[in-house]
Amino acid sequence: MTSSTSNSDNNNKKPTEEKTNMTDKLKDPLKDQQVEDTELAPLDAKERRKVGAYTVLFGGLTVLLAMLLVNGGIALLRYQSLNPFSIERIQTSADKLDIALSIPEDDPRQVVYVMGSSLVHFGFSPDVFDEYMNNAGVPTVSYNFGFGNADPSIHVKFARKLARTFEGQPKRVDRIIYEFAPHGSTYQRAATSGQLDHATTAVLSSWSDIGEKLRENPEEAFALMNTRLFRSGVPAEAITHMLSMPIKVAELDAAVKDRPEPVAMDNLGWDLFHQLRSDWPDSIPFGGWSDRYRGGFPPTASPRALELSDEVMRRMQDPVRMERSRQQRIACCDMLELHIDPQMIADVIQTIRYAQSVAKDVDIVIMPLNQDIVQISDQGMQNFAKALDEIVAATGVDIVDLYKTPYLGVEYFFDVDHYTIFKGRHKVTTLMAEKYAESAIATAE
């Protein structure tokens, strides 16, 4: 091949470990790049392949090892921490969605799925609920599908997965109780769902969803595939988000001026975590989903764990710490004014519709509010009521409203909105069971 442009006859030079003035050339590539009329030497295919193989082998191995290290780190964090990226509980729950199909059709028990946020995860005990219902003469088997940090934009993807799981199957689920948390549906809250949104899309989408995404946004589709296949469902943003949390929390804490320091925790929280992990080997870490406890936690634990729990909860309920928690919830979720995002309501409605395609009956539950600490404004209550009206009008669901009745005080909460793992969880689950037992008995009569 003849060309008017050529610069060298060193095409066939063997790659060398000599330094070859690399830095100089990077700085001044004009050097020795003259246009000449010479015959170009044929390419040395063998040499090209040799260098290619070197690159693929060493470069590829390095990238692969780096990915393995990242995945190893993720696995380690998952084992040692409590739901560190929020996605692990969603991932494992999604794999268990078809659990109702394993229950024989002639089993007389009512199958109940309870879906929602961390309020359900920490506040609903399938064991307590089922025991109450069984004692009330309504044999029931219930499952906890609540997970932390998820808002309706995440729930809707989970519910879509649920609907797909049951597509073409008999309606084996008798009831889905979907928890609606108003402060999880505000504009402020919506702004924070970014990284979990990507992770849940990666984990809960079907391959055809991702294929469709490939047509409209190839970059996003590849990123989803990458997260799903090579990062255990944990995008880099989730890790950055986790690492930045101490700074964000410090910023939020510092937002309240001249405030006394709360009672020190003295590492008791981690002592309790490790004790519970040894007491409940099937249920820990909290990020997972245990078949044995149907997604919840056991109703009780060892005396040491109970003792630790009492002390941890007491210190968590310290007024200074509660105020800090309240401020954080106001900052992140507009907890008092409740300016609800219409997109979130649309997602709630779609979630319910998916649920309705699966279960014979779908209800919404509003979990109890920490009324000693949180006083929703009048405008907030109006916003909330309006959102609920919209949801009911669109879906026709019943509402089980435990928001303010009965009055629950701070002794049932370990922070501004989460229930203590023994007393609070038992109380809230019993309140739910009472409502459903009453309603089931009334229907039977």
Partner 1 sequence: MIFNSAIFFWFFSSFFLLFKFVFTDRRKIIWLMVISSLVFYGTWNYNFIILLVFSALADYLIAQKVEENRHDPVLKKRWLITSITLNLGILAIFKYNNFILQSVQDFVLLFGGHVSVPTLSIILPVGISFYTFQSMSYTIDVYRGDMKAHRGFLEFLATLSFFPQLVAGPILRAKQILPQIVAMRTPTTFQIRAGMLLIMLGLLKKTGADMMAGPVSYAFDGPEPVSTFETWTGLLAFSAQIYGDFSGYSDIAIGVALMLGIYIPMNFNLPWFSTSPVDLWRRWHISLSSWLRDYLYISLGGNRNGKRARNLFLTMVLAGLWHGASWTFVSWGAYMGMLVVVTNWLNDQAILKGWTQSKNWGATLIKIIVTHYLVILSWPLFRGSDLATAGEMFITMHVPQAAEVSAGAGIVMALVVAGLLIMHFVDALRIRYGDALTQRQWLYWPILLVGFTLFFTVGDFGHDFIYFQF
Q: At what angle do helices 303-316 and 319-333 cross, to 10 degrees?
A: 70
The residue (of 128 and 221) whose beta carbon lies closer to partner 1 is 221
Max Cα-Cα span within the chain: 100
Closest CA to 140 of 168, 114, 171, 178: 114
Amino acid letter, 50? K
At 80 the three-state DSSP class reads: helix
Contact indicator for 133, 177 with CB cutoff of 8 Å: no
DSSP one-letter string for 325-352: HHHHHHHHH-TTT--B-HHHHHHHHHHH
Which residue, 177 or 224, has its beta carbon nearer to partner 1?
224
User: With contact defined as beta carbons under 8 Å apart, do 159 and 99 qualify?
Assistant: no
Distance CA 278, CA 336 (A): 39
Least Å distance between CB 273 and partner 1?
Answer: 24
Alpha-carbon span 158 to 370, nearest angstrom: 27
**Residue closer to partner 1 (CB basis): 23 or 443:** 23
CB of 92 to partner 1, least distance (A): 23
The distance of closest approach from Cβ of residue 242 to partner 1 in the complex, given in angstroms and rounded to an integer, is 10
Considering the complex, state which of residue 227 and residue 317 has its C-beta at the smaller distance from partner 1.
227
- Strand, helix or coil at 176? strand
- 45 contacts 202 by C-beta, under 8 angstroms: no
Structure token pair of residue 281: 């080997």
Q: Which residues of 415-428 are buried (b: 16+ CB within 10 A; e: fewer)?
A: bbbbbbbbbbbbbb
Minimum distance from residue 217 beta carbon to partner 1 (Å): 10
What minimum distance in Å lies between the beta carbon of 231 and partner 1? Answer: 8
In the complex with partner 1, the residue whose CB is nearer, 43 or 385, is: 43
For residues 252, 369, 388, 122, the Cα torsion angle rounded to the nearest 10 degrees is: 80
- Which CB, 334 or 347, lies closer to partner 1? 334
| CA 214 from centroid of its chain's CA atoms | 24
Nearer to partner 1, 40 or 82 (CB): 40
- Cβ distance to partner 1 smaller for residue 42 or 303: 42
Considering beta carbons, is residue 20 or 405 the nearer one to partner 1? 20
Least Å from the CB of residue 13 to partner 1: 8
**Distance of closest approach, residue 60 Cβ to partner 1, in angstroms:** 8
How many beta carbons lie within 10 A of that of residue 29, not counting itself?
A: 9
Instruction: Give the span between the Cα atoms of 256 and 80, in whole angstroms.
Output: 31
Q: How far is the CB of 62 from partner 1 (least distance, A)?
A: 5
Q: Residue 143: in which H helix or E strand, if any?
A: strand 140-146
Rounded least distance, CB 338 to partner 1, Å: 21
